[in-house]
Chains A and B, each alone.
Chain A
Amino acid sequence: MKKAETEQKRFISLTVNGDDFEVEISACDRLIDVLRGKLGLTGTKEGCGIGECGACTVLMDGAPVNSCLVPAFQAEGSVIETVEGLDASGKLHPLQEAFVEHTAIQCGYCTPGMLMSALALLRENPRPTREEITRAISGNLCRCTGYHQIIAAIEDASAKMKTTE
């Protein structure tokens, strides 16, 4: 949009990957601008910027959202999880391991969003069917890897996460 001459700025606090942050935002900042621009969490990618590709998917209070569509002011007080939180312990998350094992990554641009959609699914439904996996990632477009490897990786992660619980 045409840059507003004066934009109201305000500090908001939010939790990202378990850490509390206070950041200054303006009215037209989006959640993705906060994550990438203010917090340096560039794992979350911006694809289309209009909510159609899912590359920017993060979890907001546990549910998947397009961070390009969430105004930053709406993120105040929320709990955000991004791809950087997956291997916070220094070890790849079982989903990430499965994506590597199944070659479910080619260019990798859709991967952070895919992982977050898959994480939301497995938390709610630890043993999903193929159909349920397909639906859960239906808001994430991949244009090179191919969905078969991605679905297989999520299935495999689900089986491994189940047995390690």
Chain B
Amino acid sequence: MTLGFIRPKTVGEAMEVLDEHKDSSKIVAGATDVTVQLRSAKPVEEKPLWLVDITRIPELSYVNLENGIVRIGAMTTHRDIARSAVIHDVAPFLADACLSVGSPQIRTRGTIGGNIVNASPAADSLPPLTALSARLRLVSRRGSRDVALCDFFKGAYKTIIEPDEILEEVYFKAPQPSSRCAFLKLGRRESLAIARLSVAVLLDMDESGKILEAAIAPGACLPMPARIARAEQALIGKIPDEESVDMTSLEVGEEMVRVSGVRWSTEYKKPVACALTKRAIWKALGVDVD
């Protein structure tokens, strides 16, 4: 087989390359997953493989807020998102999630686009992006399309992206200034840990503290990112107290078992999913429970 690399300088050039090598190309961004995959012992396919490196496309790296919409270029690194004043201001839980990725070295290279397209159920940026109801823009020579993040995934490590498409940006409506959010992750250690469980919580409330809107998205316990409607409903319309927060958290654990089934790890994961959700809700509300 032939292995080669191509380094387009614009999105237009990249789309042309992908159009030409549709069935024999792989996009490389931060390369923190691809490098390991390429060197793994698995035999490679007997066809040419072109690595299409998009790190030389400056137009894909940005974070901006315009007309209430936050737009993040797919090539923006976790390091840049974790340091972005815009993200800290409007969606600090996304900054926290990006700061929990791998290590400083991984965050220097790893990109949000790669985190999304790689589609690991344990990807750190996905719970907050799911809670934010983020949308994606995919482009190819055939045109562009806009899909909701939650419709992008077909399963663990599987997405609807076509071989000639590039993820150009992820965008979401900036939450209300009155909203509160939190992201919590549980790994085997603090750094260089893949999430065993994580959860993102985004709440909006009125002046009395009554929850108007709630978005709760766990990570690493469902095959693909999703919000837990039953849990959200258990909180909406209430002023959070111990009972309603406990009920909400229980719904997350129940949903995990409904969707992912009972596994060897369920005995551990279910109570931990509940506890992590509970902590995240209280953290979002500014109540220190630890």
Name B41's closest neighbour in chain A (CB-CB). Answer: A1
Chain B residues within an 8 Å CB radius of A2: 43-44
Name A135's closest neighbour in chain B (CB-CB). Answer: B104
A-facing mask of B84-106, CB < 8 A → 1, else 0?
Answer: 00000000000000000011111
Q: Restricting to A26-81, which residues have a CB under 8 Å from any CB of B?
A: 26-28, 30, 49-52, 54, 57, 60, 63-66, 68-71, 73-74, 76
Is the CB–CB distance between A70 and B109 below 8 Å?
A: yes
Tell me whether A28 and B53 are in contact in the complex, defined as CB-CB below 8 angstroms, given that A4-B1, A51-B106, A139-B105 are known contacts.
no
Tell me whether A66 and B106 are in contact in the complex, defined as CB-CB below 8 angstroms, given that A2-B43, A27-B51 are known contacts.
yes
The CA of A6 and the CA of B44, in the complex, are separated in Å by 13
Is the CB–CB distance between B35 and A69 below 8 Å?
A: yes
Name B29's closest neighbour in chain A (CB-CB). Answer: A74
Q: Restricting to B53-67, which residues have a CB under 8 Å from any CB of A?
A: 53, 55
**Chain B residues within 8 Å of chain A by Cβ, number:** 32
Name A63's closest neighbour in chain B (CB-CB). Answer: B108
A129 CB within 8 Å of chain B: no
Chain B residues within an 8 Å CB radius of A63: 79, 108
Is the CB–CB distance between A5 and B106 below 8 Å?
A: no
Is the CB–CB distance between B104 and A139 below 8 Å?
A: yes
Is the CB–CB distance between A30 and B40 below 8 Å?
A: no
Chain A residues within an 8 Å CB radius of B103: 51, 54, 66, 138-140
Chain B residues within an 8 Å CB radius of A71: 5, 28, 31, 34-35, 51, 53
Name A58's closest neighbour in chain B (CB-CB). Answer: B105
A165 CB within 8 Å of chain B: no
Chain B residues within an 8 Å CB radius of A141: 192
Tell me whether A138 and B192 are in contact in the complex, defined as CB-CB below 8 angstroms, given that A2-B44, A63-B108, A65-B109 are known contacts.
yes
Name A62's closest neighbour in chain B (CB-CB). Answer: B108
Tell me whether A73 and B7 are in contact in the complex, defined as CB-CB below 8 angstroms, given that A4-B1, A4-B2 are known contacts.
yes
Is the CB–CB distance between B39 and A28 below 8 Å?
A: yes
The CA of A1 and the CA of B1, in the complex, are separated in Å by 12
Tell me whether A8 and B2 are in contact in the complex, defined as CB-CB below 8 angstroms, given that A57-B105, A64-B108 are known contacts.
yes
Chain A residues within an 8 Å CB radius of B212: none
Q: Is the interface of B mostly helix, strand, loop or mixed?
A: mixed
The CA of A135 and the CA of B38, in the complex, are separated in Å by 30
Chain A residues within an 8 Å CB radius of B3: 4, 6-8, 26-28
Is the CB–CB distance between B5 and A8 below 8 Å?
A: yes
Specify which of B32, B41, B55, B79 is in contact with A69 (CB 8 Å cutoff).
B32
Tell me whether A5 and B36 are in contact in the complex, defined as CB-CB below 8 angstroms, given that A52-B192, A138-B191, A139-B106 are known contacts.
no
Name B109's closest neighbour in chain A (CB-CB). Answer: A65
Closest CB pairs A-B (n = 10)? A139-B103, A8-B4, A138-B191, A4-B3, A27-B3, A63-B108, A66-B105, A139-B105, A6-B2, A27-B5
27 contacts between A and B (CB under 8 A): A1-B39, A2-B43, A2-B44, A4-B44, A6-B2, A6-B3, A7-B2, A7-B4, A8-B3, A8-B5, A10-B5, A49-B39, A50-B36, A51-B36, A51-B105, A66-B32, A69-B35, A71-B31, A71-B35, A73-B5, A73-B51, A74-B28, A74-B31, A117-B105, A139-B103, A139-B191, A140-B103
Residues of A within 8 A of B (CB): 1-2, 4-8, 10, 26-28, 30, 49-52, 54, 57, 60, 63-66, 68-71, 73-74, 76, 117, 120, 135-136, 138-141
